[in-house]
Amino acid sequence: MTKKNKRVLIAGAGPVGLIAALKLSQAGIPVTVLEKENQLLDDPRAATTHPATLEMLDEIGMADEAEKQGLVCDEFYFWDRPKNEIIAKFNHRLLASETKFPYVVQCEQFKLAKLALSKLKNYSDSSVLFAHEVIGVEQDTDKVTLIVNGPNGEEAATGSFLIGCDGGRSIIRKSSNIDFEGFTYPERFVVYSTPFDFEAARGCCYRNYYADPDEWSNLFKVSGDGPPGLWRAVFPTDMSQADEEVMSDKAVQLRMQKFFPKDSDYEITHRNVYTINQRVAKKFRHGRVLLAGDAAHLNNSIGGMGLNGGIHDAINAADKIIKIWQGEADETSLDIYDIQRRTTTHEFTQAQTIANKKRLEAKDAQTRKENLAELKEMALDPTRAKKFMMGTSMLSAVRRAATLG
Ligand SMILES: Cc1cc2nc3c(=O)[nH]c(=O)nc-3n(C[C@H](O)[C@H](O)[C@H](O)COP(=O)(O)OP(=O)(O)OC[C@H]3O[C@@H](n4cnc5c(N)ncnc54)[C@H](O)[C@@H]3O)c2cc1C
């Protein structure tokens, strides 16, 4: 391979692609990121960065800045929505002996992506090419070639390895004929953002999960453009409702007033509706191609694990490539990436997010009673609460991954 080809290609400049690019660049590896849009997407989507992920962001010099731009939050509450009663409070300080970060940081994903991009600019051998849509991928024994639609028409980009970070509809996954196994929920999630202060008015903390047999909900605070910040409320909505119906002012106000009635209309600064999947790629490695982030797995957002898992992929994949590059490992270590990340995605992220949704939406009175009683008991027992939070913080998943392969 020529020197020009000795680089790593990354498809997609979402937070996962840019974080992988930064980690590789910091190890002296030239990277080219190809992004189909003209600029970074500013869709707020992910908000919660868990302790296990903060540890990784710390290694690449992003944790402090994420903390400055976000909100530090050590608690989360479970509520019984029909009774408007807090059932259980969990505090990450119980994890103080396990991690330097016994808290989460509420930092919108576009801020993480922008931060990674600004740091990446310090590496002159690496570049991010916007308006470059990947349309195909080919590989042979020593290189990967991407076919790209760029501003000057079709062109090719060549590298030693490729990380496909091109989101849930990944062309890299599809071109590599990798099945995306799992299911799509029959309902969608609708998200509204409002500056209304739920902490002052309702005693909410920055992360709240509401169990309700009729309409569960999640309520989070993010920093937005600065104080006073924004609250994001998430509800399920049924597939038969058209987007315009779910997003109309009337529907938004009705839903918010049903959630927490108040005298005036809610000010809504952002609204969106998402299709929700639980899917995992059948393999995360295909020769010189690795899948990471939403390209490799999708899950419902209850518990805030999708992007976190994607960042764990990015760091793990970059680590494997760095070792190969430095001659400390051979290419079979890419299989270990597949084993570590795919196994923990199934065992932890998929299992927990499916369970989270079931817990909040339970309709059967007895099941609901048992669920809420279990949360209450767990919160009052520090040993059980800690074990539960080792899962929610994703520390257990990362430690399990380290034992695999
Ligand atoms: C409502 C909601 C709330 C969420 N909350 C959380 C949360 O709190 N915590 C959490 O961890 N996760 C959360 N998630 C999940 C999180 O948003 C995703 O996991 C995250 O966006 C994945 O990042 P990514 O970089 O893999 O993919 P993306 O963010 O989708 O980025 C993919 C990039 O690839 C580009 N691209 C696509 N196709 C091509 C192509 N052919 N060529 C070139 N470029 C291409 C896209 O333009 C995009 O820039 C939430 C999701 C939703 C919907």
Sign of the alpha-carbon dihedral angle for 158, 162, 167, 168: positive
Burial of 338 (0-12, 13-18, 19+ CB in 10 A): buried
The closest residue, in CA terms, to atom 5 on ligand 1 is 46
Ligand 1 site, residue 310, Cβ cutoff 6 A: yes
Q: Ligand 1 centroid vs 14 CA: distance in angstroms?
A: 6
31 lines ligand 1 (CB under 6 A): no
Cα separation, 231 vs 270, in Å, equals 10
What's the pLDDT tens digit per position in 32-52? 999 999 999 988 899 999 999
Kindly give the number of the ligand 1 atom that is closest to the alpha carbon of 135. Answer: 41
Tell me the CA–centroid distance for residue 169 and ligand 1, in Å. Answer: 10
CA distances from residue 164 to 18, 58, 205, 293, 401 in whole angstroms, order as listed: 11, 24, 36, 8, 20
Q: Is the CB of 11 under 6 A from ligand 1?
A: yes
Give DSSP secondary structure letters for 207-266.
EEEEE-SS--EEEEEE-TTSTT-EEEEEEEEETTS-HHHHHSHHHHHHHHHHHS--SSPP
| Beta-ladder partners of 128 | 33
What is the reported pLDDT for 5? 61
Question: Confidence class of residue 2 from pLDDT cuts 50, 70 and 90?
Answer: very low
Please check the confidence at residue 62 and state whether its pLDDT lies above 70: yes
| 237-255 confidence digits (pLDDT tens) | 977 888 888 899 999 999 9
pLDDT tens digits along 257-283: 999 999 999 999 999 999 999 999 999
If you take atom 27 of ligand 1, which residue's CA is the nearest one?
167
Q: Write out pLDDT tens, residues 278-297.
A: 999 999 999 999 999 999 99
Pocket test for ligand 1, best of 9, 23, 294 (most atoms within 8 A of CB): 294
Question: In this predicted model, what pLDDT tens digit does every residue of 373-392 receive, in sequence order?
Answer: 999 999 999 999 999 999 99
pLDDT of 53 higher than 50? yes
Q: Is the CB of 109 under 6 A from ligand 1?
A: yes
pLDDT (0 to 100) of residue 1 = 43
| Domains of the chain (ranges, CATH numbers) | 3-74+104-181+278-358 (3.50.50.60)
Category of 12 on φ-ψ map: left (φ > 0), alpha (ψ -120 to 50) or beta: left
Residue type, position 239, single letter: M
